[in-house]
Amino acid sequence: DIMNEGQDVIQVALDVATSELNPQGEGSFAKIQFSDGGVQNLDNFSAKRIAATYAQLDDTHKQQFQYLLNKDASTYQTALDFAVRNV
């Protein structure tokens, strides 16, 4: 597992989605840490949805999406649910 403390969730998602992290493929994941100190696993499926959703948003919504992903586990889940439904 790769720990990405203090690293932006969007960047981690892009790295995982493009397999720069964890080249093992679909079953692999990275750990992300939220602003509140909580930790979550980010799998390849979720990373691809997050990266694709982020790419489609305008700048204002990118900032909101990024904030939700980085704040805590609850807001991360809300943003991830949005990403999965919309990609």
DSSP notation for 38-54: -EEEEEHHHHHHHHHHH
67: pLDDT strictly greater than 70:
yes
Higher pLDDT, 87 or 59: 59
| Angle at alpha carbon of residue 84, lines to 31 and 8, rounded to 5° | 35
Q: What is the pLDDT of residue 29?
A: 72
Lowest-confidence segment of 17-21, 34-38, 43-47, 71-75 by average pLDDT: 17-21
d(CA 87, CA 83): 6
Tokens of residue 62, six digits:
């990118």
Q: What is the pLDDT of residue 6?
A: 59
d(CA 62, CA 46): 17
**pLDDT tens, 33-55?**
899 999 998 888 899 999 999 99
